[in-house]
Protein backbone atom coordinates (compact mmCIF):
# COMPACT_ATOMS: atom_id res chain seq x y z
CA UNK A 1 0.00 0.00 0.00
CA UNK A 2 1.23 3.47 -0.87
CA UNK A 3 0.41 6.45 1.32
CA UNK A 4 0.46 9.98 -0.08
CA UNK A 5 -0.81 13.35 1.13
CA UNK A 6 -4.43 13.95 0.14
CA UNK A 7 -3.54 17.48 -0.99
CA UNK A 8 -1.06 16.25 -3.59
CA UNK A 9 -2.85 16.01 -6.93
CA UNK A 10 0.02 15.66 -9.42
CA UNK A 11 3.16 13.52 -9.22
CA UNK A 12 6.31 13.68 -11.33
CA UNK A 13 7.78 10.56 -12.91
CA UNK A 14 10.59 10.61 -10.31
CA UNK A 15 8.07 10.62 -7.44
CA UNK A 16 6.06 7.80 -9.02
CA UNK A 17 9.23 5.79 -9.62
CA UNK A 18 10.31 6.22 -6.00
CA UNK A 19 6.83 5.40 -4.62
CA UNK A 20 6.14 2.34 -6.78
CA UNK A 21 9.62 0.94 -7.30
CA UNK A 22 9.14 0.95 -11.07
CA UNK A 23 12.20 2.23 -12.95
CA UNK A 24 11.67 5.28 -15.16
CA UNK A 25 12.24 3.28 -18.36
CA UNK A 26 9.47 0.80 -17.53
CA UNK A 27 7.28 3.57 -16.13
CA UNK A 28 7.38 5.49 -19.40
CA UNK A 29 6.70 2.33 -21.42
CA UNK A 30 3.67 1.38 -19.30
CA UNK A 31 2.38 4.95 -19.35
CA UNK A 32 2.55 5.06 -23.14
CA UNK A 33 0.98 1.65 -23.70
CA UNK A 34 -1.83 2.14 -21.16
CA UNK A 35 -2.39 5.85 -21.89
CA UNK A 36 -1.61 6.95 -18.33
CA UNK A 37 -0.16 10.28 -17.24
CA UNK A 38 0.57 13.24 -19.44
CA UNK A 39 3.71 14.54 -21.08
CA UNK A 40 4.77 18.06 -20.20
CA UNK A 41 7.23 19.64 -22.58
CA UNK A 42 9.41 22.49 -21.33
CA UNK A 43 11.90 24.54 -23.30
CA UNK A 44 15.42 23.71 -22.19
CA UNK A 45 18.34 26.04 -21.74
CA UNK A 46 20.03 24.67 -24.87
CA UNK A 47 16.99 25.41 -27.01
CA UNK A 48 15.75 21.82 -26.98
CA UNK A 49 12.63 20.49 -25.32
CA UNK A 50 12.65 18.30 -22.24
CA UNK A 51 9.88 15.73 -21.77
CA UNK A 52 8.58 15.20 -18.26
CA UNK A 53 5.74 12.90 -17.29
CA UNK A 54 3.13 13.88 -14.73
CA UNK A 55 0.65 11.51 -13.11
CA UNK A 56 -2.53 11.85 -11.05
CA UNK A 57 -3.64 9.86 -7.99
CA UNK A 58 -5.75 7.67 -10.28
CA UNK A 59 -2.73 6.98 -12.51
CA UNK A 60 -0.73 6.02 -9.42
CA UNK A 61 -3.40 3.52 -8.35
CA UNK A 62 -3.52 1.91 -11.80
CA UNK A 63 0.29 1.69 -12.03
CA UNK A 64 0.61 -0.06 -8.67
CA UNK A 65 -2.02 -2.59 -9.74
CA UNK A 66 -0.62 -3.25 -13.23
CA UNK A 67 3.14 -3.31 -12.81
CA UNK A 68 5.30 -5.01 -10.15
CA UNK A 69 8.41 -3.42 -8.67
CA UNK A 70 11.48 -3.63 -10.88
CA UNK A 71 14.18 -6.04 -9.72
CA UNK A 72 17.11 -4.51 -11.61
Q: Total domain count for the chain?
A: 1
Mean pLDDT, residues 50-58 taken together: 88
Mean per-residue pLDDT, 32-52: 78
pLDDT in tens, 1-17: 777 777 888 999 999 99
Would 2 be classed as within a structural domain? no
E strands along 1-57, which residues? 10-12, 38-43, 49-56
- At residue 2, the 3 state secondary structure works out as coil
3 in any annotated domain? no
Q: Please list the helix, strand and coil fractions of the chain in percent, rounded to the nearest 5, in that order.
A: 40, 25, 35
Does the residue 35 lie in any domain?
yes
Would you say residue 1 lies in a domain? no
Q: What is the pLDDT of residues 17-39, one digit of tens each?
A: 999 999 999 999 999 999 999 98
Please indicate, yes or no, if residue 44 is contained in any of the structural domains: yes
Whether 50 has a pLDDT exceeding 80, the answer reads no
Q: Is residue 5 in some structural domain? A: no
* pTM exceeds 0.85: no
Q: Which domain holds residue 29?
A: 10-66
Indicate whether 22 belongs to any domain: yes
Kindly report the number of other CB atoms within 10 A of residue 37's CB atom.
Answer: 25
Amino acid sequence: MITVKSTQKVFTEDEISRLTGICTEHLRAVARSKHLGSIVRAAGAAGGQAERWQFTNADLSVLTALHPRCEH
